[in-house]
Amino acid sequence: MIRVLHVAGSLYNDAMDWKGIDTILLDLDGTLLDRAFDDHFYFNVLPEHYALARGLSMEEARERLTGLYRAVEGELDWTDIDYWSRTLGLDVPALKASVRHRIAPHPDALLFLGYLQQRHMRVHLVTNAHPKSLAIKMEKTGVDKYLDRIVTAFDVGCLKSRREYWTNSQAILGFDPVTTLYVDDDEAALSAADMFGIRHLYLRSKPSSASPAHASAVYRSIETFHPLMK
């Protein structure tokens, strides 16, 4: 059963209680990294190259790609850039690497990771990202220096919105759901983690610097990590 916690996102000002928490699980895109990069890539860069390759207008390319995205949303192919290379006839990893200069952590992300290191917390990355995307982003941001372990959807065979992701990731990481804190910008992933039994759940309500915040009516919502560092 999902625990309903009516806590306004940017108005959540209670001091964080770290008692009983020993493991931190963090999402990557939208939570640690600004999702403006991925939005730009999938809705501007990829359509532009697809349009050139197929002789389409940008509007036509975006429409076709949006349909293709929706067809596999929620499935492993959704974040599999090798799948998109085959499907679109483009070298998607190379295109993503060509605009890596736009990849950036949220302004508070490295500060929060350093704070967790000072508290001697176990910090694991749990992500839907494909290993090739992950490698590009880790090389650009250095986020991996703050992490104990990384588990991707490709390690466990499904996305985080599936309960089996959490069963399989627990087998890899060995965390106790009761003493684990998890932050993600995807409410479906939080819901699956909730059903699995992870106790401390937070929604990052502003995943992209280019979009407004959207707080959850179900989970504690934070626009930045600062409320967790009080």
How confident is the model over 57-81, as a mean pLDDT? 97
- Domain ranges in the chain are 23-34+104-229, 37-101
Q: Which CATH class is domain 23-34+104-229?
A: alpha beta
The predicted pLDDT at position 16 comes to 80
Lowest-pLDDT range, 10-24, 78-92, 186-200, 202-216?
A: 10-24
Please give the Cα distance from 22 to 145 (Å, whole number).
19
pLDDT digits (tens, 9 = 90+) for 144-177: 999 999 999 999 999 999 999 999 999 999 999 9
